[in-house]
Structure 1
Amino acid sequence: MLFDFGNYYIEPIAANDAWKLCDFVVSNAERLKRYFPKTLEQNLNPTLSQVFVDKKIKQYSGKEEFLFKLKEKENRTIIGLVYIKETDWNNKRAELAYCIGYQHEGKGYITQSIKALSAYAFEHLGLLSLQIIAHKTNLGSVKVARNNGYTWQKTLPKEHTPPGEEALDMELYVLSKQKTR
């Protein structure tokens, strides 16, 4: 267990998480299809989820990408995900991306998780700058970024293309290590 928050905890994705990850993704498919289409399509059944989990474990050990699960203690179900991705070791920066299950939205779990994982990225991974990229209408995501000290930098034109939609302009929020001290 990496972080314990009482009723839930955060830890890296593990080999035995495929079924629970599949359950999380399928039950939240409508929420994930716009901003997490690749995660959704790679976890539509337990077999696909096992391939996905195995890949993420390899990426984690290779320090390419880090996938963390938020897991509810009582039912031991996955309630959210946080990625540390697009890791640029030369410039010591990465992007954080996150999602929470519909049953747990608005409870502060993601805000608390991003705070903890931002500190983890700075202190344990040696990163100096973290980014969150969110659409301006995704008010929950924008709030998470702002509540954790990430500051708006600029609009990224046509940064993300959801399935079946035109490319969207996205907002870039940044947190630098010196701001966390």
Structure 2
Amino acid sequence: MQLNFDSYCISPIQPKDGWKICNFVVANEDRLKRYFPKTLEQNLTPDLANIFVAKKVKQFENKGEFLFTLKTNDSNQLVGLIYIKKLNWTKKEGEFAYCIGYEYEGKGITTKAIKILSNHAFDTLNLKTLQIIVHPSNKPSIKVAENCNFTWIKTLEKEHTPPGEKPLDMELYELYNEME
């Protein structure tokens, strides 16, 4: 499966992605350390990244969690990661988590990717509810949620604890599959 838009492609995590993910997280360490600390720490070296990728490929195959890579079509450079995680197959819901590299921020790439993957989640995975949980200071991520028609639901108190910080309140946004 590969989903293309503009000059980018969205693909499921592949065994060969270890080096690219390592390079991506190291280059974007400051962006990832607060909200993606586990992804960061599990990909700081190529060996760690290969272990991470093998685990994520298996989770993808077992429908436990879906990690997608966002790459350029021309150079195949990894520009972002998008998770569909915290899957509840009984309630048919999942949560998006996403990050994009410094030089690709603010270009609408993440918004387009989330719209495409929302359709995929509804049409192929048969999910009914998608969530985005974001800190109120993360204006670009809030903009992605709003541009993708997610609705603010409520504040989740002490939802996320970044490394070395006190728990943070986060904002919950949801999108529902209207096609029944």
Which TM-score band (shorter chain)? over 0.9
CA distance in 2, matches of 1:118, 1:153: 18
TM-score (norm 2): 0.98
Give the corresponding residue for 2:131.
Answer: 131
TM-score (norm 1): 0.97
* Structure 1: runs of 5 or more not aligned: none
Q: Give the aligned CA root-mean-square deviation in angstroms.
A: 1.1
State the SS of the aligned residue for 1:63: coil
Give the corresponding residue for 1:169.
Answer: 169
Number of equivalent positions? 180
Mapped pair 1:140 → 2:140: yes
- The structural deviation recorded for 1:74 is 2.2
Give the corresponding residue for 2:120.
Answer: 120
CA distance in 1, matches of 2:72, 2:116: 17
* Structure 2: runs of 5 or more not aligned: none
Aligned AA for 2:64?
E
Q: Deviations over 1:117-136 (max 9, x none)?
A: 00100000010000000001
Give the corresponding residue for 1:86.
Answer: 86
- The structural deviation recorded for 1:8 is 1.1
Give the corresponding residue for 1:56.
Answer: 56
Q: Which runs of 4+ in 1 moved over 2 A?
A: none
Aligned AA for 2:92?
K
Q: Deviations over 1:4-63 (max 9, x none)?
A: 113111000100010011000100000000000000000000000000000000000000
CA distance in 2, matches of 1:126, 1:74: 32
Give the percent of matched residue pairs that are identical in Structure 1 and Structure 2: 56
CA distance in 2, matches of 1:6, 1:128: 27
- The structural deviation recorded for 1:141 is 0.4
